[in-house]
């Protein structure tokens, strides 16, 4: 674990530089440990690093570094309590999947094979970024790996589910982007009216469930009327 200044009000904690579940879990474990201490102004976990905001009226950078190293030796006893298994409904029908044919050409898979491989895999939320609530999920099955679009779209609808390299992701809001869109979820991935705006968190385990256009509309209606319950449970 390497701790270095990141500007004059933050520290960057780095682990082994690779996309790996074990490395990312160390980041998530430390995130929850530091969060529980309530000693820092913000915490931003990424694939293999954690950015920590420092209140300079309370700590010098050296004091904050020493506190982090001390807290890191006393992690919460049940880390699995922070892990959720989440199921995200996705409609892969043509009106929601503008790049399905392109992904089929690039991968050599049929559309049904793409859907099957995308839904049979359990993904890890490695980090949130790009725009608020955008979840980077990995790792895609090798047959689904494909490049981003050569020309990004000026606007990708919120809820769009895309592929890029070895990752899949969900657009939480309307935004420009170049991921290959193969479906859409009716769930609001980011909503400032909720106590916690983000629907997913780093460390969550995610599976996608294929739904019809009719079920998509039903879930959207239930969500808008406040009667939809997300399919999620905490790890044991």
d(CA 5, CA 160): 36
pLDDT band at 132 (very low <50, low <70, confident <90, very high): confident
Residue 42 has pLDDT above 80, yes or no: yes
Give the position of tokens 């679009």.
Answer: 149
Pairing of strands 84-91, 205-211: parallel
Which pLDDT does position 193 carry in this prediction? 87
Which pLDDT does position 19 carry in this prediction? 84
Residue 81 has pLDDT above 60, yes or no: no
From the centroid of its chain, how far is CA 156? 17
Residue 32 has pLDDT above 60, yes or no: yes
CB contact set of 14 (below 8 Å; sequence gap of 6+): 1, 2, 3, 4, 48, 49
Stated length of the chain: 236
pLDDT band at 131 (very low <50, low <70, confident <90, very high): confident
- 47: three-class secondary structure by DSSP: coil
Half-sphere exposure of 220 (CA within 13 A, CB side): 14
Q: Kindly list the distances between the CA atom of residue 135 and the CA atoms of 56, 141, 143, 194, 203, in Å, as whole numbers in the listed order.
A: 31, 17, 21, 17, 10
Q: Closest by alpha carbon to 7, among 51, 71, 44, 49?
A: 51
Does this model's pTM top 0.85? Answer: no
Domains in the chain: ranges and CATH: 2-81 (3.30.1360.40), 83-234 (2.40.100.10)
């Amino acid at each position: 674990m390497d701790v270095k200044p990141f500007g004059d009000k933050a520290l960057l904690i780095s682990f082994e530089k690779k996309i790996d579940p074990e490395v990312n879990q160390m980041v998530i474990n430390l995130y929850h440990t530091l969060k529980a201490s309530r000693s820092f102004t913000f915490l931003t976990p990424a694939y293999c690093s954690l950015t920590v905001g420092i209140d300079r009226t309370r700590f010098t950078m050296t004091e904050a570094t020493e506190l982090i190293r001390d807290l890191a030796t006393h992690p919460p006893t049940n880390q699995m309590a922070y892990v959720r298994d989440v199921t995200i409904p996705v409609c892969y029908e043509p009106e929601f999947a503008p790049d399905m044919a392109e992904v089929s050409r690039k991968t050599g898979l049929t559309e049904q094979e793409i859907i099957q491989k995308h839904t049979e895999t359990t993904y890890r939320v490695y980090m949130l970024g790009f725009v608020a609530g955008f979840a980077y999920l990995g790792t895609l099955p090798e047959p689904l790996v494909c490049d981003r679009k050569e020309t990004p779209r000026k606007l990708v609808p919120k809820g769009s589910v895309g592929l890029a390299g070895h990752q899949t992701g969900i657009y939480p809001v309307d935004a420009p982007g170049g991921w290959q869109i193969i479906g859409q979820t009716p769930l609001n991935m980011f909503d400032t009216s909720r106590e916690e705006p983000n629907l997913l968190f780093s460390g969550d385990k995610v599976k996608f469930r294929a739904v019809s256009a009719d079920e998509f509309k039903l879930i959207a209606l239930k969500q808008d009327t406040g009667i939809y319950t997300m399919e999620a449970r905490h790890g044991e």
